[in-house]
């Protein structure tokens, strides 16, 4: 079935398709209201180089890896690893990202957390931000205070923003599936109605038989004792090409009744 045939079928069964489409809209709206919105909170940490340089302390950590952008990438990679993700999930943080500046111009860490409520997402963002700072300090264990790479906030999460992207994706997917289901049900309904119409036509054609066809009753002349005999042409029939003669009682009629012979 091509596109135009499908449109013709939907036009033919527009009442059924309209009802199915209305039901799909109602179900999609119900899914939209049942899926809870998500909230996001984002903080940005700027990496600050040490105030005192010494090749014998952890300040050389920067030189070992190139620059502060490289350090940020190392921390980001660690926080997104499977091991750390499992540890964070154990304390309730299971939807987060720790990324770097996509342009590479600023040595920063962008910490984003997604959760179901504004208060929860802000709490989890604070927890994850503290985790990132501690990881950076642990990587410089044993260094003096003046030789540490430190961080400061470029942006601290103070309010949550509503994110409906995942909600909309679910609703769109459900809506598309239900529309295709409505079209399929309409095609099935049309097929069933066509079969029913064909069956009814066969029944009407089978019940309207011409005289002489199987099942049609014929009234035969009275028997000698006055009884009336009825036989169907399924049991008896006139011999082809034989003239039964004048009707009984008519002028010139023979006294013998018309002869009927069993069908071969």
Alpha helices in the chain (DSSP H): 3-12, 14-34, 60-65, 68-79, 82-90, 118-138, 165-207
pLDDT in the model for residue 22: 92
The pTM is what? 0.58
Cα separation, 98 vs 120, whole angstroms: 18
pLDDT at 61 (0 to 100): 54
Q: Which of 16, 11, 4, 26 is nearest to 171 (CA)?
A: 26
Tokens, residue 13: 């069964």
Contact assessment for residue 47 and residue 109, using Cβ atoms and an 8 Å cutoff = yes
The pLDDT value recorded for residue 169 is 87
User: Cα-atom radius of gyration of the chain, to the nearest Å?
Assistant: 45
| Cα–Cα distance for residue pair 189/187, rounded to 1 Å | 5
DSSP 147: G
Residue indicated by tokens 């399924």: 234
The pLDDT, as a whole number, for residue 233 is 45
Q: Which two tokens stand for residue 255?
A: 């006294």
At residue 80, φ and ψ (nearest 5 deg) are -95, 5
Q: What is the mean pLDDT of each run of 10 residues along the chain (264 residues)?
A: 78 89 91 88 92 54 68 92 93 93 91 94 95 89 78 92 85 92 90 87 69 50 55 46 48 50 50
Angle ∠(150,155,158) on CA atoms, nearest 5: 120
- B/e letters for 133-165, b = 16+ CB within 10 Å, e = fewer, are eebbeeebeebeeebbbbbeeeeebeebeeeee
Q: Which two tokens stand for residue 167?
A: 């909600």
Q: Please, what's the b/e burial string for 243-260 (b: 16 or more CB within 10 A of its CB; e: otherwise)?
A: eeeeeeeeeeeeeeeeeb
pLDDT of residue 59: 46
Structure letter (DSSP) for residue 220: P
**Quick one: pLDDT at residue 65?**
57
pLDDT on residue 10: 84
């Amino acid at each position: 079935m091509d596109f135009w045939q499908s449109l013709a079928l939907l036009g033919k069964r527009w009442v059924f398709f309209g009802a199915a489409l209305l039901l799909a809209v109602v179900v999609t709206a119900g899914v939209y209201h049942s899926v809870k919105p998500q909230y996001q909170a984002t903080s940005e940490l700027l990496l600050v180089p040490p105030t005192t340089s010494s090749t014998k302390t952890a300040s050389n950590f920067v030189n070992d890896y190139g620059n502060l952008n490289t350090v940020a990438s190392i921390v980001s990679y660690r926080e997104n690893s499977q091991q750390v993700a499992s540890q964070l999930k154990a304390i309730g943080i299971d939807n987060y990202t720790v990324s770097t500046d996509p342009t590479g111009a600023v040595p920063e860490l962008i910490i984003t957390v997604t959760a179901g409520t504004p208060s929860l997402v802000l709490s989890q963002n604070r927890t994850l931000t503290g985790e990132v700072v501690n990881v950076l300090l642990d990587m410089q264990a044993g260094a003096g205070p003046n030789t540490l790479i430190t961080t400061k906030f470029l942006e601290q999460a103070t309010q949550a923003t509503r994110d409906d992207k995942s909600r909309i994706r679910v609703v769109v997917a459900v809506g598309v599936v239900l529309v295709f289901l409505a079209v399929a049900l309409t095609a099935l309904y049309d097929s069933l109605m066509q079969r029913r119409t064909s069956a009814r036509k066969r029944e009407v054609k089978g019940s309207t038989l011409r005289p002489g066809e199987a099942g049609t009753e014929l009234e035969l002349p009275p028997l000698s004792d006055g009884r009336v005999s009825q036989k169907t042409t399924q049991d008896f029939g006139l011999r082809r090409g034989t003239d039964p003669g004048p009707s009984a009682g008519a002028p010139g009629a023979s006294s013998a009744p018309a002869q009927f012979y069993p069908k071969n």
